[in-house]
Amino acid sequence: MSQRRKFLKQGTAAMMSLPFISFDPKKDWSIAELKTNAPKDEAYWQMVRKQFPLKEGQTYFNNGTMGPTPGYVLDKMFDHMMHWNVEAATVDYKNGSGPELLTGYFPYEELRTKLGKIINCDFKEISLTQNATFGMNYVGMGLNLKKGDELINTNQEHGGGFGAWQLLAKRKGCVYKQATMPEPANDPQEIMDAIFKEVTPKTKVIAVPHIISGFGTVMPVKEICAEAKKRGIFTVLDGAQCVGQVPVDVKDIGCDAYYSSLHKWLLAPSGSGLLYINKDVVSDIWTTIASYNWDNQDDHGFRLMQNGTGNAGLMAGYEAAVDFFNTIGHDIWLGRVKELGKYLRDGLKEMDHVTFYSSTNEDMAAGITTYGVTGMSGPDLQKYMWDKERLQPRSVGNEMIRHSVHIYNSKEEIDRAFQLVEGLG
């Protein structure tokens, strides 16, 4: 018995220490210092960089896959999980403390209101989801589609952007079609032509990316949605790469539905997603995962997101990430992403041995640049950058490297990438 107690005591101590191996819980991750009227120069962005527990001497250029979470957000998550595990018995979830203990049954109106201000919609049009794939499926499975209805994607979709539509084609006998996109895409009209070439009187849904995941191309979504609306076609936008990278105004865009993964460019913890469905069409969308509020006709966003117990600590981190974004400021944050993206592209354009696969039209580009270097495969280039300078972009396929830049990056880090690529010419 004494040996068993000793084992449990040692095991518990080890488990408690694991989350803090690379994160100092005693560090003050206050974001108060970011609230300043000082110029947003390189000194300011160095201060922003200190908000991230990224290892010094290494450079992360793969935000298109997953954004690093700021220390402030991690702090809020850890504090929440520890406090409410210690104080579990003090929680009366029926009298107001429920969201502190479990999620999945509560409307989270305050967080949804903050998100509504970022993407310009009423909070009741927003559902909190786990990620973009959930959003796609909630829309696809909720639509009243029937055999013969045509569904249009592009040939440059992420799996989280095509899976539901292919499933519906197989399950309900819908017709699944893909528009062949230009590569690289530098002319919005070519994209419009490629998509609407596939449209027929039987087309019911156009589901396309706002930003193409592999290439970083910012699509002419406002024009696509306007033309689709004229033809009575339901529009769904995959915004997995968008919220926190480019401005997203769903009312100005005019889409019927929009979904995003905020663990990318908004730097929220994994499992933080959102789904917007326009109030004029949401009553036609069936609930996919049904719980108590499956037929709530007053708050459709809540209806579609009430899906059972989840991680309340994650929700604390989700809201903290939104607060972190708002502290720096919408325009300042997005402007810095665009500034660094353009800085990277401008430098690469000077090198004859670099081939662009993403758009070089700055109206169609932001924080993601996808390119190749003559004589070197994408995986080899990724390995070369890591081995030489501990730079970590991500290879795409055999020929390309996808290079993401965000507010925690610096021009000096991009300059080091330039030196390596230039040396391969």
Taking only the tens place, the pLDDT of each residue in 207-240 is 999 999 999 999 999 999 999 999 999 999 999 9
The contacts of residue 403 (CB under 8 Å, 6+ apart) are 61, 344, 368, 369, 370, 371, 393, 417
d(Cα 230, Cα 225) in Å, to the nearest integer? 9
Q: Indicate the length of the chain as a whole number.
A: 425
Domain end, chosen from 305, 326, 347, is at 326
Indicate if 318 and 358 belong to the same structural domain.
no
Q: What is the pLDDT of residue 1?
A: 46
Instruction: Provide the pLDDT confidence category of residue 84 given band limits of 50, 70 and 90.
Output: confident
The whole-number pLDDT of residue 132 equals: 94
pLDDT at 114: 98
pLDDT-based confidence at residue 22 (cuts at 50, 70, 90): very low
Identify whether 184 is preceded by a cis peptide bond (ω within 30 of 0): yes
Inter-residue contact 371 to 403 (CB < 8 Å): yes
Q: pLDDT exceeding 90 applies to what percent of the chain?
A: 78
- Residue 156's contacts (CB-CB under 8 Å, 6 or more residues apart) are 181, 183, 209, 212, 213, 214, 215, 217
Instruction: Identify which of 407, 408, 404 has the alpha carbon closest to the alpha carbon of residue 417.
Output: 404
| Residues whose CB is less than 8 angstroms from the CB of residue 53 and which lie 6 or more positions away in sequence, other chains included | 22, 23, 24, 68, 71, 74
Chain centroid, CA 408 distance in Å: 16
Q: What is the C-alpha separation between 352 and 385, in angstroms, rounded?
A: 19
Domain containing 352 equals 53-68+329-423
Last residue of a domain, one of 304, 326, 348: 326
Question: How high is the mean pLDDT of the chain?
Answer: 91
Domain identity same for 313 and 175: yes
Provide mean pLDDT across the span 325-351: 97
Q: Would you say residue 404 lies in a domain?
A: yes
Determine the pLDDT at residue 10.
47
Assess whether 223 and 334 both reside in one domain: no
CB atoms within 10 A of CB 187: 14
Q: How many helices (H) and strands (E) does the chain have?
A: 15, 13
Number of domains in the chain: 2
Beta-carbon-side half-sphere exposure of residue 314 (alpha carbons within 13 Å): 17
C-alpha–C-alpha distance, residues 262 and 129, integer Å: 10
Q: Are 257 and 209 in the same domain?
A: yes
Same domain for 302 and 339: no
- The string of pLDDT tens digits covering residues 110-141 is 999 999 999 999 999 999 999 999 999 999 99
Do 59 and 119 fall within a single domain?
A: no
pTM of the predicted model, to two decimals?
Answer: 0.91
Classify residue 81 as exposed, middle or buried by CB count within 10 Å of its CB (0-12, 13-18, 19+).
Answer: middle
Same domain, 304 and 347: no
**8-state DSSP, 198:** S
DSSP secondary-structure letter at 203? E
Q: What is the pLDDT of residue 13?
A: 46
The residue from 276, 299, 326 where one domain ends is: 326
22 found inside a domain: no
**Residue 401 counted as domain residue:** yes
**Residue 196 corresponds to which tokens in the numbers above?**
């609407």
| Mean pLDDT, residues 146-171 taken together | 94
pLDDT over 50 at 19, yes or no: no
